[in-house]
Amino acid sequence: MESQLKSVGKRVPKVDAREKVTGRAIYIHDLKLPGMLYGKILYSKYPHARILNIDTSKAEKLPGVRAVITGFNTPEIRIGFMKDQPVLKKDKVRQYRDEVAAVAAIDPDIAEEALDLIKVDYEPLPGLFDPEEAVKEDAILIHEYDAKGKPLKNNILKLPWRLIAGDVEQAKKESDFIVEDSFRVTWVTHCCMGTSGCIALFDLDNNLTIYSITQIPFLAQNDFNAALKAMGLKGKNTRVINTVIGGGFGSKLDTHVYEYIAILLAYRTRKPVKILFTREEEFFAQPPRQPAIIKISQGCKKDGNLTFREVDMLLDNGAYTSWGATTPSVMMVPISSLYKVPNIKYTARSVYTNNIYAQAMRGYGNPQATFAVESSMDILAEAAGIDPMEFRLINVNLPGEITPQNFKVTTCGLKECIESVGEGLNWKDAKKNKKKKRGVGMSSLIHVGGGARVYKSDGHGMIMKVDDFGKISVITGAVEIGQGSETVISQVAAEVLGVFPEDIQIIKGDTSICPWDVGTHASRQAFVSCNAAIMVANKIKKEILDIAGKYFNVDPENLDIKNRVIYLKDEPENSEKQMPLDKLLRRAHFSKHGTMIMAETFYDPPNEMLNQEFKGNLSCTYAYGTTGVEVEVDTETGHVEIKKYFAAHDVGRALNPMLLEGQIYGAAVMGTGYALTEQLILKQGKVMNDNFLDYKILTAKDKIPIVPILVETIDELGPLGAKGIGEPACVPTAPAIANAIHDAIGVRIKDLPITPEKILKALKEKEKKG
Amino acid sequence: MKKVISFKLNGEDVEAEVEPHWSLLHLLRETFELTGAKEGCGKGECGACTVIVDGKAINSCLFPVMEVEGCEVTTIEGLATLNGNLHPIQESFVANGAVQCGFCTPGMIMSAKALLDENKNPSEDDIRTAIAGNLCRCTGYVQIIEAIKKASERREP
Ligand code: FES
Ligand code: FES
């Protein structure tokens, strides 16, 4: 098969690249509709306060203002995973970014000016900013009632996470070495280069159209339809149309408050209303990745075999829930199943605070959990006197294994990943002939590789239709956020149909046209949409060959398509029995009982929902990988330089190595930011660094010599063997770097990011201790 | 108070009525409807709005519109020919996977063009310096740098 692949496995350029390099791609920023108004949002002045009164009279009188809305003059819409957030707040504000009013005006400046004219009276309340304070029984309540109006007793989310496998207490007794540590991770934010925005408009029948950048158009349709119902428009429908999206990384897995505000303003004014975030808003009003305090204990035998892993986590949820409140479900993946550990105990609590509310970000909790697990792996290896790489190999996951969370490991290239990274780093030599201030470290990862059943359906719908010219339209619910799903769909469809990727046109981004897809998340899009593409392309191919068989009077089994030509398999050179695909299609179409060729499919991978014990085969295959780095630490300045960076990934099959490497490079750099430079600084709930000067993502000046290593295990269920790659590469970076820093200078930093200040402080403490 | 300015935009002489407090980015996007240059921050921190003014790559979000008078401005829309022939840098971005979400791309390409116009044979460090002000969240810069390097090699006689 390998040598026969024509499109798959090639470095095919992204299908949307030409539009993007010429500046022709239309992002939400670029879209204007006739008569469009501009919406702006007024945010809270306090992190926690009672709203006494909102006076909008002056703002309403400002020329050019078309509507001013508050929670008092609009129907209540509740959103979020636990429906704990009203779109416009009227009783209390619970975080600085709480939306208290909004304006629609004929231009953005007038809207902005009108915001200044709105007067809100608050009665400030004491705030809770420390999750460890917020969990206490006597803590003040951030939410007095749940979504159903039932009184709440404390700030702990009613989402208890508890995974037990085996017997951790017994395993502790039987362990020769046990380590216990506490780690902290803080807020980081997606920093999509395209800020958030949408345009909402209603038709005469009160159906909603929303131009959106969501990663989950069909779940968004569901959410917005619920909002319409709350607005008294029961039975009305939403059409979600995606513009080109300026980056996702998990920031668009929820529907967001600003979108509902645009909807309310559009309904009030009967005009299209656009809301577009400024960069400051993107920093302070766009939910970041959750912070967590992670206690972890692990044990092993003298021979290095892991005996147990116990993790307890406290997550700062912030003021409201998003889907991100479910990230502990994915944190369980590495906690239960990274390396062979027979006994597992994992508990997690999420707590309301008056901080900015959080959501998922690339890895969906996995980077936080893996930071703790893989840092602890090194600490335990040291305690047991075993080389950290050796230690990982002793416990490596292998095909055929069933993990304590009941994951069925099918293909698994983790061993190869560890070994190839070790080779790249010259691990043994680096350890034996240790250079001063230099160190090596590694970390592995496991992630869902074939989607994940976090929603009732993990499915993907696809329609394919062939025209009279041999061109193929693929109508898909997949959302392209830059990763290249459209390109690999084209490659795979072309492969099956014996045509070229440029013959395929992707039709997407419209819930009224495209079949359902659960969303671009869980690194699933290539896996599910390419599987769907193979299924539906095979249907199309069968129809075409059946018609051709009749025409040539041969068994269709004996026919195939190559380079847009139908030919006889036995006699590929026989031009009598060949016909260009387009010619046959026209013949089929314009004959007496003419036919059009089209097909559809709905592919739902055989993934299981976790049961009440949080066990089950969440994904039908798992992605593995190992990152290894060599660092040099300047002990005068605390600066960390990454000298070598190897990222080995079990990708199943590289459908398009160029795009795949792009995912690895991008995620590796994002992961390095998580490790070393990025943090949203909050002071009493207020984001203090809402700009790129103070929130430091890496730039082209930060040289990281990333070497991707693609390990192909050809997964049976993957499309031509492929697994997911969107998130994995950012997961192991931070612990690999932390481990390397420890190797270099003997200090272990347990809270991210590992800033020069923390390194210098740790060095000083180490010196003091002698 | 509106003022009239005239300058050269993508090779054509143009005139525009502007408010003196506008930025060049505002003029390009709102008056000329050239939306290739993006606003990623509006404060000179991200480079998404980069265009070339008199041979220099600048952040058009900070560039006062009145200073454009008499200048030569090139935007991403001025690079490809109308019938779709891409500029070698654009070609190279496409061929080398330098584009993901694409929001940073027009700015990146303009910074790269200003560099290559001045330095036909830049080192990797020259390239890194030239695009240091262009943030990209998707690519980790690797394939962008490679694309610029390859474009420069291609343009060597
Ligand atoms: S928009 Fe001009 S630098 Fe960011
Ligand atoms: S390609 Fe997305 S920001 Fe650069």
Q: What is the CATH number of the domain that holds B56?
A: 3.10.20.30
A17, closest residue in chain B (CA to CA): B94
Q: What is the pLDDT of residue A4?
A: 81
Q: What is the CA radius of gyration of chain A?
A: 27
Residue range(s) of every CATH 3.90.1170.50 domain in chain A: 31-125+196-276
* B84-118 tens-digit pLDDT: 899 999 999 999 999 999 999 999 999 999 999 99
> Looking at the domain assignment, is residue B13 inside a domain?
yes
The residue to mutate among A16, A29, A190, A193, having the most atoms of ligand 2 within 8 angstroms of its beta carbon, is A193
> By C-alpha distance, which of A193, A199, A226, A225 is closest to A212?
A199
The residue to mutate among B49, B58, B131, B137, having the most atoms of ligand 1 within 8 angstroms of its beta carbon, is B49
* A583-592 tens-digit pLDDT: 999 999 998 8
Confidence of residue A3 (pLDDT cuts 50, 70, 90): low
Mean pLDDT calculated for residue range A39-66: 98
Cβ(A213)–Cβ(A241) under 8 Å? no
The H or E element spanning position A591 is none
Task: Indicate whether B126 pLDDT > 80.
Answer: yes
Q: What is the pLDDT of residue B83?
A: 84
Confidence of residue B157 (pLDDT cuts 50, 70, 90): very low
Mean pLDDT calculated for residue range A459-487: 95
Lowest mean pLDDT among A189-198, A522-531, A617-626, A692-701: A522-531
Give, in degrees to the nearest 5, the angle at Cα A618 between A613 and A624: 120
CATH topology of domain A292-453+610-769: Aldehyde Oxidoreductase; domain 4 (3.30.365)
Q: What is the pLDDT of residue A577?
A: 87
A192, closest residue in chain B (CA to CA): B137
Place of tokens 């504000």: A93
B101, closest residue in chain A (CA to CA): A482
Confidence of residue A461 (pLDDT cuts 50, 70, 90): very high
Question: How far apart, in whole angstroms, are the C-alpha atoms of residue B105 and residue B131?
Answer: 11
- Pair (B33, B66) in one structural domain: yes
* Ligand 2 centroid, distance to A557 Cα (angstroms): 46
| Percent of chain A predicted with pLDDT > 70 | 100
Q: Which of B78, B98, B127 is the last residue of a domain?
A: B78
Task: Indicate whether B155 pLDDT > 70.
Answer: no
> By C-alpha distance, which of A516, A546, A529 is closest to A489?
A529
Lowest mean pLDDT among A4-8, A113-117, A353-357, A623-627: A4-8
| Inter-chain residue contact A17 with B94, CB threshold 8 Å | yes
Question: How far apart, in whole angstroms, are the C-alpha atoms of residue B37 and residue B60?
Answer: 8
Task: Indicate whether A278 pLDDT > 70.
Answer: yes
Confidence of residue B120 (pLDDT cuts 50, 70, 90): very high
Q: Which of B39, B55, B78 is the last residue of a domain?
A: B78
Confidence of residue A524 (pLDDT cuts 50, 70, 90): very high
Q: For the packed helices A485-497 and A525-552, what is the interaxial angle rounded to 10 degrees? A: 20
Mean pLDDT calculated for residue range A308-330: 97
A692, closest residue in chain B (CA to CA): B45
- Pair (B71, B92) in one structural domain: no
- Pair (B134, B71) in one structural domain: no
Q: How many domains does chain B have?
A: 2
Task: Using an 8 Å CB-CB cutoff, list chain B residues near A701.
Answer: 128-129, 132
Confidence of residue A715 (pLDDT cuts 50, 70, 90): very high
> Looking at the domain assignment, is residue B119 inside a domain?
yes
- Pair (B61, B95) in one structural domain: no
Q: Which of B78, B102, B127 is the last residue of a domain?
A: B78
The H or E element spanning position A702 is none
Question: How far apart, in whole angstroms, are the C-alpha atoms of residue A668 and residue A709?
Answer: 13
Mean pLDDT calculated for residue range A29-49: 98
Cβ(A720)–Cβ(A534) under 8 Å? yes
Task: Indicate whether A121 pLDDT > 80.
Answer: yes
Q: What is the CATH number of the domain that holds B132?
A: 1.10.150.120
Residue range(s) of every CATH 3.30.365.10 domain in chain A: 2-24+459-603, 292-453+610-769
Does the domain spanning A31-125+196-276 belong to CATH 3.90.1170.50?
yes
CB count within 10 Å of CB A398 equals: 10
- Pair (B14, B38) in one structural domain: yes
Question: How far apart, in whole angstroms, are the C-alpha atoms of residue A146 and residue A85?
Answer: 10
Cβ(A102)–Cβ(A261) under 8 Å? yes
Task: Indicate whether A151 pLDDT > 80.
Answer: yes
Q: What is the pLDDT of residue A1?
A: 46
Strands A92-93 and A49-55, sheet pairing: antiparallel
Domain containing residue B141: 88-154
Mean pLDDT calculated for residue range A482-502: 95
Question: How far apart, in whole angstroms, are the C-alpha atoms of residue B104 and residue B106?
Answer: 6
Q: Which of B106, B132, B142 sits opposite A23 (nearest CB)?
A: B106
Q: Collapsing DSSP states into helix, strand and coil, what is residue A475?
A: strand
| Percent of chain A predicted with pLDDT > 90 | 97
- Pair (B65, B100) in one structural domain: no
> By C-alpha distance, which of A2, A5, A7, A1 is closest to A488?
A7
Question: How far apart, in whole angstroms, are the C-alpha atoms of residue A620 and residue A617?
Answer: 7
Say how many residues make up chain A. 770
Cβ(A368)–Cβ(A421) under 8 Å? no
Give the residue, A542 or A576, on which the prediction is more confident: A542
The residue to mutate among B59, B111, B131, B135, having the most atoms of ligand 1 within 8 angstroms of its beta carbon, is B59
Q: What is the pLDDT of residue A770?
A: 76
Q: What is the pLDDT of residue A2?
A: 52
* Ligand 2 centroid, distance to A606 Cα (angstroms): 33
Cβ(A522)–Cβ(A724) under 8 Å? yes
The answer, yes or no, to whether any atom of ligand 1 lies below 6 A from the CB of B106, is no
A624: which strand partners?
A446, A650
Residue ranges of alpha helices (H) inside A63-146 are 108-116, 131-134
- Pair (B121, B147) in one structural domain: yes
- The interface residues of chain B toward chain A in range 123-142, judged by CB-CB distance below 8 A, are 127-129, 131-142
Task: Indicate whether A150 pLDDT > 80.
Answer: yes
CA distances from A430 to A418, A631, B64 (A): 15, 11, 54
- The interface residues of chain B toward chain A in range 107-126, judged by CB-CB distance below 8 A, are 109
- Pair (B106, B67) in one structural domain: no
> Looking at the domain assignment, is residue B83 inside a domain?
no
Task: Indicate whether B156 pLDDT > 60.
Answer: no
Confidence of residue B81 (pLDDT cuts 50, 70, 90): confident
Confidence of residue B82 (pLDDT cuts 50, 70, 90): confident
CB count within 10 Å of CB A469 equals: 12
The answer, yes or no, to whether any atom of ligand 2 lies below 6 A from the CB of B97, is no
| Inter-chain residue contact A248 with B36, CB threshold 8 Å | no
> Looking at the domain assignment, is residue B123 inside a domain?
yes
Mean pLDDT of chain A: 97
Question: How far apart, in whole angstroms, are the C-alpha atoms of residue A340 and residue A396?
Answer: 6
* Ligand 2 centroid, distance to B111 Cα (angstroms): 14
- Percent helix, strand and coil across chain A, each to the nearest 5: 30, 25, 45
Work out the burial of residue A707: count CB atoms within 10 Å of its CB; fewer than 13 is exposed, 13-18 middle, 19 or more buried: middle
- Pair (B111, B146) in one structural domain: yes
- Pair (B108, B142) in one structural domain: yes
* Backbone torsions φ then ψ of A296, nearest 5 degrees: -135, 140
| Inter-chain residue contact B100 with A484, CB threshold 8 Å | yes
CATH topology of domain A2-24+459-603: Aldehyde Oxidoreductase; domain 4 (3.30.365)
Q: Structure tokens of A718?
A: 């993957």
Strands A565-568 and A579-580, sheet pairing: antiparallel
| Inter-chain residue contact A191 with B131, CB threshold 8 Å | no
> By C-alpha distance, which of A367, A454, A516 is closest to A81?
A454
